[in-house]
Structure 1
Amino acid sequence: MTPVVLLANLGLGFLGLSALCFSMGRHHAAAFERPLDPRRALRLRALGWGLIALSLAAAILFEGWNFGPVQWLGSLSGAGLALIVTLSYRPRAPWCAAVLDALLRLTALPPLRAERRAGRACDQLTRPS
């Protein structure tokens, strides 16, 4: 388990769950102080499920089928807990946290690529000929 992949899964899970949360009228109204229109709710749902699927794909890609889904479930549970705690005390905070997290995800992409290349190089060195 690598910390960079775990943090990427945690961040993508938090973004996805935040989008799903804001697709509900009550949470959207608490965060944005305006009603939620049906088209925006549909876009937020699609974005949320897409980000959750992307986090699963990243976990499987970097950790493999053996450990990837386990890490994904753990990070998704942690992201859900963080979102619940944040929504309980500050209903507007997940929106700000989601934007900040998206920016951090963009800066974490180069280390993920480098880590994957390094992992392949190590696999080639340790693979018996």
Structure 2
Amino acid sequence: MTPNGESVSPVVLYVCADRAPEAPGDATERARTEGRAFARERGLTIAEVVTDTYGEPDPARRRGWRRVRQLAQTGQLTAVLVRWPSAIAPESARELRQREAAWLRDRGVRVRYTWAPLSSRG
């Protein structure tokens, strides 16, 4: 544990921001930079950065999110860092986001939001 009470176990930074997989844009770079800063400030180790393109509402149908699930299933992480809830599933598919968060929670994995207004809520 760090002095702040955070876990030093590996986390995954999940980035799902841009629509074009061949050319990551500003949103992807902001999410990566913010996620790395969030981890560094809390003494967390990013084991892997997993990316998906934005657009598919069901996270279970995205290759990157399936990788996150695989890591959680094998006990290789304690948290998933994500910029904001809509990176997991859009507001119009809130039930999918809740399903995935519950699935992770059942395996001892927390979802942590790195965007400052959300990260300050714990």
Q: Under a length normalisation based on structure 2, what TM-score does the superposition of the two structures give?
A: 0.32
The structure showing larger relative contact order (alpha-carbon pairs under 8 Å, at least 6 residues apart) is 1
Q: Which of the pair is proportionally richer in helix?
A: 1
Q: Under a length normalisation based on structure 1, what TM-score does the superposition of the two structures give?
A: 0.30
Q: Which of the pair is proportionally richer in strand?
A: 2
Larger Rg: 1
